[in-house]
C-alpha cells in the first residue's frame, strides 16, 4: 500500500512520502491552531511545514514541481503561513495592539522586497548567460568575468523566502509571552536580511560583471574555429536521459584521425557529458549554429535521429553520416529517416542486411561497415567463471514508446527471471542493471523495476546472514574495507578534478576555464580505472547487486559477468563481443524459431519464455563448457554482427572517415569549378515586386530573442522533430 502511495504521489522514497504527508497535514493544523487559538500548537505545526518543505526541496522531489503547477508553489505556501500568523494574532485579541500592525507591515514590506530580488536574480542570470557553452575551447578573445558566489543565486527564491523565519519566530514569542520587543526585533531582522540580500546582488549588474555580448562571443568562437579547423564533427542532441548516446562515442572521437569537434544543442546535457579531451561546443540557438564557420568540416556524425539535426544537415560542404547509438534488431535501427544522410555506418554485415530486409529506401552502396570501436574494453571469455560461483547479469531494455510486449522482458518476465536466478540449485550471483530510460513512460515498468530491486536487495541480505557465506564475508572483510576507503579517496580526488576553476562557477565561467589539460585528463582516466577496480572489490563476489547510474559502465558489468540475460537491444549485440553465453526473452511469445528468424542477435542465444523456465540451460552452459552447445554459433554471429577482428574497429572507422572526407573534398572542388565557369547571376531589381521570401524581420526578431534566451527556438524548423524524437536503443 505504501509503494502504491509513493507511486501515486510521484515521490522517490518513504521518507519523501512522509515529508509530503506532514507538509500537507501541517497547513490545516496551522489553520486549526490559529482558530482555537493555540500558540504552541501553531508553532509546532509551523515548524513541521518548514522542515518538511525544506526536506522535499533538498531531495528535489517531483511533488514540489506538481504543487507549483496547481498554484500551491513555494511563495504561496509561505504567504499562507504568514496569513495564519495574522489570523492567530487577531484570535488572540491582539488586533488593536502595535504588535499586530508591526507584523502586518513586516510581511507586506517583506513581500514587497521579493519583486526586486526576483528581478535582480533574473537579470544577473540573463547577463551571465553566453549564447554557447564550451569545453576545451580557448575563448581568450573575450573577457568572461567570474561568476557571482553560488550562495547568492543557487535556489535564491527559496533562500529569500526563508528570511521570514526571524519575524515568524519573534512574533510567536511575543504573542506567547507578551514581550512585544521580541516581535519587533524579529521583524527588523527579517527586513534587514531581505534588504541586505538585494544589496549583495546589485554589484553583479555592473558592466564589468556581465558576460560579453552574444556577437562578441560568437565572433571569438569563429576565430577559434578558424585556428583549430575541425574536420570531423559529432553532432549530438537529445533529451535529459539521452546523454549516454553521446558519451558512448567520446573515446572514439578522441581517437579519430583529423581534428574532431563535438557539437551539442542542449545546455543541460553538457554537464552530463563525460570528461573528454575533444573540444565541445554547445550551441542552443539554431540561428547561431547556422552562422558558425564550419567550412573546414568534411564529415559530420549523428548518433540519434532528432529534429535539430536539420540545422546541420543543411550544410552541403560536409558529408553526413548516421552512426547510431547501438546496433540491434529493433525497428529504430532501420529508421527510414536515415535516407537524409549521405552514408549509414553499421557495425557488421548484419546491419547492412537489416536495412535491405526493411526496404526503407537506404541504398546498399550508402552503407559502410565500420565495426564497433566502443567494444574494445570488453574482455573475451576464457571459458571458465571469474569466481567460485557464476555471475549472471540481467540487463533488460526499457519499455519503449508503445505497448508492444516484445519491447522489454521486464514487464512479463523480469521478476520470473530474477526469481529463478536467485533460487537456482547451484548458487549464482545476480547483477541487475536496468536501462536508464526504464519507467519514463510506463508506470507499470517503473513499479516492476522497483520490485526487482527490492528482490535483489532482499536476496543480498539473506545471503549475508546465511552461515554458508558468513565465513567468506569474514575473510574478505578487511579487503572490502580497504577497497571502500580507496573508493572514498578516489571519489574525493575525482570531485576535485571534475570542474576546473573556482568552486561554484557558472557555465559561462566554466567555458572560460575548461581548457584541455592532458595531465589532468590522464589522471582522471587513471582514477576511473582505479575506481572501477575498487568498486568491484568493495563487496564480495557472492553478493547480489543492483547497478544504476553512469558508473560502473555497462561494459564493466559485462566483464564481471559470466553470462547475461537481456532483450532485443544493442546490449545483446555488444555482449556477443565477449563470447560468453547469453539468453534473450521472447516476451512477445513468437516461438523460438520465429523469434530467431526475426532477430539476428538471438540466433546463438538461449531463448527464454516469459516464465524463464529455460534459465537452467544458460546456467549449465556457464558451469560446464561441454554443455555449451552454442559456443561455435556465438563465434560466427560475432563476426556477422560486429565485423572482423582485423583490422580493428578503430582502424575501420578511421578509414571510413578519411574516405568520406575525400568524397566531400571532391564534391566541393567540383562545385567550385562549376560555379567559376558560370557568369555571375544578375542582381535583383530593388524596384521589382517582392518575391515573397520576406524581408528578414522574423530572423532579426528571432536572433534578438535568442540573445536573451538561447533556448528559445529561433525558426519553425527548430521545433520540428523528426519521427518520434530520439530513438533510445540500448
pLDDT digits (tens, 9 = 90+) for 256-297: 999 999 999 999 899 888 888 899 999 999 999 999 999 999
Give the C-alpha distances (Å, rounded to integers) separating 308 from 293, 567, 715. Answer: 18, 30, 11
The Cα 703–Cα 716 span in angstroms is 13
Q: Residue 504 is placed in which grid cell?
A: 561554484
The pLDDT of residue 85? 96
pTM, two decimals, is 0.75
Query: Do 159 and 11 belong together in one domain?
Result: yes
Residue 223 belongs to a domain: no
Residue 247 belongs to a domain: yes
Query: Do 70 and 16 belong together in one domain?
Result: yes
The Cα 365–Cα 368 span in angstroms is 8
Crossing angle for the helix pair 2-9 and 14-35, to the nearest 10 degrees: 80
Indicate the pairing of strand 232-236 with strand 260-264: parallel
Residue 529 belongs to a domain: no
The residue with cell 508506470 is: 443
> CA angle, 95 as apex, 89 and 100 as ends, to 5°?
65
- Range(s) of the domain holding residue 186: 2-128+151-208
The pLDDT of residue 163? 96
- Residue 515 Ramachandran class (φ > 0 left, ψ -120 to 50 alpha, else beta): beta
Residue 379 belongs to a domain: no
The Cα 10–Cα 20 span in angstroms is 10
* Segment (H or E) for 264: strand 260-264
**CATH code of residue 670:** 3.40.50
Query: Do 574 and 434 belong together in one domain?
Result: yes
Query: Do 413 and 369 belong together in one domain?
Result: no
Query: Do 76 and 121 belong together in one domain?
Result: yes
The pLDDT of residue 150? 87
Backbone φ and ψ of 105, nearest 5°: -65, -40
Query: Do 431 and 468 belong together in one domain?
Result: yes
Query: Do 294 and 432 belong together in one domain?
Result: no
The model's pLDDT over 501-558, given as tens digits with 9 standing for 90+, comes to: 666 678 888 888 777 778 888 898 899 999 999 999 999 899 999 999 888 989 999 9
Residue 233 belongs to a domain: yes
- Check: CB of residue 183 under 8 Å from CB of residue 548: no
The pLDDT of residue 329? 63
Which residue stretches of the chain have pLDDT < 50? 1-2, 4-6, 8-9, 683, 685-730
Residue 587 belongs to a domain: yes
Q: Residue 421 is placed in which grid cell?
A: 536466478
Query: Do 470 and 558 belong together in one domain?
Result: yes
The pLDDT of residue 356? 86
Query: Do 637 and 654 belong together in one domain?
Result: no
Backbone φ and ψ of 433, nearest 5°: -130, 95
Classify 538 as helix, strand or coil.
coil
The pLDDT of residue 156? 93
Query: Do 632 and 659 belong together in one domain?
Result: no
Crossing angle for the helix pair 74-91 and 62-69, to the nearest 10 degrees: 70
Query: Do 435 and 364 belong together in one domain?
Result: no
Residue 213 belongs to a domain: no
Number of domains in the chain: 3
The residue with cell 573546414 is: 296
- Check: CB of residue 317 under 8 Å from CB of residue 337: no
The pLDDT of residue 514? 78
Query: Do 296 and 313 belong together in one domain?
Result: yes
> CA angle, 564 as apex, 432 and 532 as ends, to 5°?
60
Residue 167 belongs to a domain: yes
410-441 b/e (C-beta count within 10 Å ≥ 16 → b)? bbbbbebbbebbbebeeebbbbbbbbbbbbee
Name 560's Cβ contacts closer than 8 Å, sequence gap at least 6.
386, 391, 393, 431, 536
- Check: CB of residue 275 under 8 Å from CB of residue 550: no
Amino acid at each position: 500500500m505504501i509503494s502504491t502511495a509513493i507511486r501515486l504521489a510521484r515521490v522517490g522514497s518513504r521518507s519523501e512520502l512522509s515529508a509530503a504527508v506532514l507538509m500537507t497535514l501541517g497547513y490545516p493544523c496551522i489553520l486549526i491552531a490559529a482558530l482555537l487559538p493555540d500558540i504552541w500548537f501553531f508553532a509546532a505545526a509551523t515548524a513541521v511545514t518548514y522542515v518538511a518543505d525544506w526536506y522535499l526541496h533538498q531531495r528535489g522531489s517531483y511533488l514540489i514541481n506538481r504543487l507549483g503547477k496547481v498554484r500551491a508553489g513555494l511563495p504561496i505556501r509561505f504567504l499562507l503561513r504568514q496569513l495564519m500568523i495574522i489570523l492567530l494574532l487577531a484570535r488572540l485579541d491582539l488586533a488593536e495592539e502595535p504588535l499586530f500592525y508591526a507584523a502586518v507591515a513586516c510581511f507586506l514590506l517583506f513581500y514587497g522586497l521579493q519583486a526586486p530580488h526576483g528581478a535582480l536574480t533574473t537579470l544577473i542570470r540573463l547577463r551571465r548567460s553566453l549564447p554557447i557553452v564550451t569545453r576545451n575551447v580557448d575563448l581568450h578573445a573575450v573577457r568572461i568575468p567570474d561568476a557571482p558566489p553560488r550562495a547568492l543565486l543557487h535556489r535564491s527564491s527559496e533562500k529569500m523566502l526563508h528570511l521570514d523565519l526571524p519575524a515568524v519566530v519573534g512574533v510567536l514569542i511575543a504573542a506567547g509571552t507578551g514581550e512585544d520587543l521580541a516581535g519587533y526585533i524579529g521583524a527588523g531582522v527579517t527586513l534587514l536580511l531581505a534588504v541586505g540580500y538585494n544589496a549583495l546582488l546589485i554589484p553583479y549588474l555592473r558592466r564589468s560583471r556581465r558576460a560579453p555580448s552574444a556577437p562578441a562571443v560568437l565572433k571569438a568562437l569563429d576565430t577559434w574555429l578558424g585556428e583549430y579547423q575541425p574536420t570531423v564533427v559529432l553532432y549530438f542532441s537529445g533529451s535529459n536521459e539521452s546523454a549516454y548516446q553521446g558519451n558512448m562515442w567520446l573515446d572514439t572521437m578522441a581517437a579519430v584521425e583529423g581534428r574532431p569537434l563535438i557539437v551539442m544543442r542542449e545546455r543541460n546535457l553538457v554537464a552530463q557529458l563525460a570528461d573528454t579531451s575533444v573540444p565541445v561546443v554547445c550551441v542552443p540557438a539554431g540561428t547561431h549554429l547556422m552562422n558558425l564557420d564550419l567550412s573546414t568540416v568534411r564529415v559530420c556524425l549523428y548518433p540519434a535521429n532528432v529534429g535539430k539535426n536539420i540545422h546541420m544537415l543543411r550544410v552541403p560542404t560536409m558529408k553526413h553520416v548516421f552512426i547510431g547509438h547501438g546496433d540491434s534488431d529493433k525497428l529504430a535501427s532501420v529508421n527510414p529517416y536515415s535516407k537524409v544522410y549521405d552514408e549509414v555506418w553499421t557495425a557488421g554485415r548484419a546491419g547492412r542486411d537489416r536495412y535491405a530486409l526493411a526496404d526503407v529506401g537506404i541504398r546498399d552502396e550508402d552503407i559502410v561497415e565500420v565495426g564497433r570501436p566502443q567494444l574494445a574494453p570488453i574482455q573475451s571469455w576464457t571459458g571458465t567463471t571469474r569466481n567460485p560461483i557464476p555471475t549472471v547479469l540481467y540487463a533488460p531494455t526499457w519499455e519503449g514508446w508503445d505497448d508492444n510486449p516484445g519491447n522489454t522482458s521486464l514487464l512479463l518476465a523480469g521478476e520470473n527471471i530474477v526469481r529463478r536466478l536467485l533460487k537456482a540449485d547451484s548458487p549464482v550471483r545476480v547483477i541487475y542493471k536496468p536501462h536508464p530510460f526504464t519507467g519514463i513512460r510506463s508506470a507499470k515498468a517503473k513499479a516492476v523495476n522497483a520490485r526487482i530491486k527490492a528482490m535483489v536487495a532482499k536476496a543480498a541480505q539473506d545471503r549475508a546472514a546465511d552461515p554458508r557465506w558468513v565465513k567468506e564475508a569474514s575473510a574478505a572483510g578487511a579487503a572490502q574495507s580497504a577497497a571502500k576507503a580507496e573508493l572514498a579517496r578516489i571519489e574525493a580526488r575525482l570531485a576535485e578534478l571534475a570542474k576546473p576553476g573556482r568552486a561554484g562557477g557558472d557555465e559561462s565561467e566554466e567555458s572560460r576555464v575548461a581548457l584541455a589539460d592532458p595531465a589532468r585528463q590522464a589522471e582522471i582516466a587513471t582514477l576511473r580505472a582505479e575506481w572501477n577496480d575498487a568498486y568491484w572489490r568493495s563487496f564480495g563476489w557472492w553478493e547480489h547487486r543492483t547497478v544504476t547510474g553512469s558508473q560502473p559502465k555497462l561494459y564493466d558489468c559485462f566483464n564481471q559477468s559470466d553470462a547475461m540475460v537481456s532483450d532485443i537491444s544493442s546490449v545483446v549485440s555488444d555482449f556477443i563481443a565477449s563470447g560468453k553465453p547469453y539468453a534473450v526473452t521472447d516476451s512477445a511469445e513468437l516461438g523460438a524459431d520465429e523469434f530467431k528468424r526475426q532477430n539476428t542477435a538471438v540466433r546463438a542465444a538461449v531463448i527464454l519464455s516469459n516464465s524463464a523456465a529455460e534459465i537452467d540451460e544458460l546456467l549449465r552452459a556457464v558451469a560446464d563448457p561441454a554443455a555449451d552447445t552454442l559456443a561455435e554459433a556465438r563465434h560466427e554471429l560475432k563476426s556477422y554482427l560486429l565485423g572482423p577482428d582485423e583490422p580493428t574497429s578503430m582502424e575501420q572507422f578511421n578509414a571510413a572517415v578519411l574516405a568520406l572526407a575525400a568524397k566531400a573534398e571532391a564534391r566541393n572542388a567540383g562545385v567550385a569549378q562549376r560555379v567559376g565557369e558560370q557568369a555571375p547571376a544578375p542582381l535583383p531589381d530593388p524596384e521589382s515586386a517582392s518575391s515573397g521570401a520576406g524581408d528578414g524581420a522574423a530572423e532579426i526578431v528571432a536572433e534578438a530573442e535568442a540573445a536573451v534566451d538561447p533556448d528559445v527556438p529561433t525558426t519553425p524548423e527548430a521545433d520540428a522533430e523528426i519521427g518520434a524524437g530520439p530513438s533510445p536503443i540500448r
